[in-house]
């Protein structure tokens, strides 16, 4: 997650509240490969609030890139 000041500067949302829904900027959306097929909670734009959504519908509507983003890349030799 980005530092708080960087998150606000880049998106207008605080750390942990960034959402692609209703944003004034069309941000690229990246989602981890583990979420398709599930109901997920995501930032709703304000601390203390979450949006619970069907991941497949959300990913399709946003044209999200789905990839394994939970593990860091191994160092190159």
Give CA angle at 6 (18, 56), nearest 5°. Answer: 25
Q: Which pLDDT band, with edges at 50, 70 and 90, does 77 fall under?
A: low
Please say if the pLDDT value at position 60 is more than 90.
yes
* pLDDT tens per residue, range 23-33: 777 888 999 99
Please report, for the chain, the start and end positions of each structural domain, with discontinuous segments joined by +. Answer: 16-67
Strand, helix or coil for residue 55: helix
* pLDDT tens per residue, range 7-18: 899 888 888 888
- Output 47 or 59, whichever has higher pLDDT: 59
Rounded CA gap, 64 and 75, in Å? 27
pTM above threshold 0.75: no
């Amino acid at each position: 997650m980005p530092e708080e000041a960087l998150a606000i500067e880049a998106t207008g949302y605080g750390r942990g509240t960034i959402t692609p829904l209703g944003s004034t900027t069309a941000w690229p959306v990246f989602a981890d490969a583990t979420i398709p097929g599930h109901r997920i909670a995501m930032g709703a734009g304000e601390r203390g609030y979450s949006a619970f959504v069907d991941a497949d519908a959300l990913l399709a509507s946003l044209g999200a890139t789905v990839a394994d983003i939970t593990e860091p890349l191994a160092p190159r030799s």
